[in-house]
């Protein structure tokens, strides 16, 4: 091989090693911070280190970025990503393509490297299957959790009320029932889960991880006295949502350490749902808005009359109970509440 050919080969290998390592790092960050899946994150980390071992100094020395015409090439689809799934699929394709290039061109200089890149490419195919398993819906994407969260309260018209709210655009429901028997809670949870999924809404069970598992709910919401969050994740699996109630900064920071998918923040105002608990007021709302890295919901006495104040204090999401469960028209009330969120986002 002539010297000019060797230089070209080394530039190709250098460029594609960089592209593959960068793409794997993008995927790794989502596995770590988006899915909290250490197993998948570790797979990515191992791939990065293996690629780094093949990145020889002579490849880097051949790099000629100022004269590389490829730096000027782009595509309209690369300018924006509509959601994390699109972003991940693009980077998986980037890694797979780079590994194929590495496999083919390294045959000209290092058959062992070609074999290693081929094996890594197959591992990335397996990783892609694990990320996009049909049994692991992308509801755990923290960027897409709905703004409005309905927490149910006992009602003779529970199913009808929830369905009316779903018809109004509601996309997140938690079934909360502290008094019914286990069999009743299981039956109602199953009915609510099926109803929510008919409307493409997320269904959460309050407290009871066993019931959430039994009805295939999308997650569970835990109070401060409930089971540890890591145990809930172990039972439900990494693809499910696990939320935690908080009433002060210490509880919020513990929830952050536990890697809660979201937290409830309240009670903001006095509410019979949390009888005897002192309202936290809007100061804690402001604190959480500056310190919580995950989505969070202001809850406790929130209704159509005070929601604007809650949003002005820094909240972007809120949970309601009586405002919808006791509304004369749950559909219209849901639409009215959602309109307030829309108005707030347009004013920013």
Of all helices (H) and strands (E), which one includes residue 212?
helix 209-215
Confidence (pLDDT) at 210:
96
How far apart, in whole angstroms, are the C-alpha atoms of residue 264 and residue 274?
Answer: 13
Q: Which residues contact 297 (CB under 8 A, 6 or more apart)?
A: 149, 262, 263, 264, 265, 315, 317, 318, 319
Nearest partner of 59 among 110, 130, 95, judged by Cα: 110
Cβ atoms < 10 Å from Cβ of 318: 27
SS3 262: strand
pLDDT > 70: what percent of the chain? 87
What average pLDDT score do residues 289-297 get? 90
CATH 3.20.20.70 for the 139-347 domain, yes or no:
yes
What average pLDDT score do residues 319-347 get? 88
pTM exceeds 0.85: no
Confidence (pLDDT) at 136:
45
What average pLDDT score do residues 101-127 get? 95
Q: What is the pLDDT of residues 154-164, one digit of tens each?
A: 999 999 999 99
Q: Please, are residues 221 and 174 in contact by the beta-carbon 8 Å criterion?
A: yes
Split at pLDDT 50, 70, 90, the class of 345 is: low
Q: Is the pLDDT of residue 97 over 90?
A: yes
Phi, psi of 294 (to 5 degrees): -100, 165
Q: What is the pLDDT of residues 37-47, one digit of tens each?
A: 778 889 999 99
């Amino acid at each position: 091989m002539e010297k000019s050919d060797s230089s070209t080969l080394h530039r190709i290998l250098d460029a594609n090693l960089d592209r593959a390592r960068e793409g794997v790092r993008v995927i790794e960050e989502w596995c770590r911070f988006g899915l909290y899946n250490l197993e998948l994150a570790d797979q990515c980390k191992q791939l990065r280190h293996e690629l780094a071992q093949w990145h020889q100094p002579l490849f880097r020395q051949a790099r000629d970025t100022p004269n590389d015409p490829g730096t000027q090439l782009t595509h309209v689809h690369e300018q924006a990503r509509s959601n994390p799934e699109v972003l991940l699929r693009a980077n998986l394709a980037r890694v797979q393509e780079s590994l194929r290039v590495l496999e083919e061109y390294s045959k000209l200089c290092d058959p062992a490297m070609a074999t290693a890149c081929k094996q890594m490419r197959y591992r990335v195919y397996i990783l892609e299957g694990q990320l996009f398993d049909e049994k692991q819906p992308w509801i755990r994407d923290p960027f897409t959790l709905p703004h409005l969260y309905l927490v149910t309260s006992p009602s003779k018209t529970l199913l009808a009320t929830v369905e009316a709210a779903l018809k109004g655009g509601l996309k997140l429901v938690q079934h909360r029932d502290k008094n019914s028997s286990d069999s009743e809670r299981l039956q109602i949870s199953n009915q609510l889960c099926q109803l929510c999924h008919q409307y493409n809404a997320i269904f959460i069970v309050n407290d009871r991880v066993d019931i959430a598992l039994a009805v295939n709910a999308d997650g569970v919401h835990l109070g401060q006295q409930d089971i540890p969050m890591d145990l809930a994740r172990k039972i439900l699996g990494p693809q499910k949502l696990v939320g935690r109630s908080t009433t002060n900064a210490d509880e919020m920071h513990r929830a952050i350490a536990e890697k809660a998918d979201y937290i409830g923040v309240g009670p903001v105002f006095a509410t019979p749902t949390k009888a005897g608990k002192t309202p936290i007021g809007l100061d804690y709302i402001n604190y959480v808005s500056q310190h919580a890295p995950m989505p969070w919901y202001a809850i406790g006495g929130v209704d159509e009359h005070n929601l604007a104040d809650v949003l002005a204090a820094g909240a972007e999401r809120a949970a309601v109970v009586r405002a919808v469960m006791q509304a004369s028209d749950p559909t219209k009330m849901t639409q009215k509440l959602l309109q307030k969120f829309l108005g707030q986002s347009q004013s920013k």
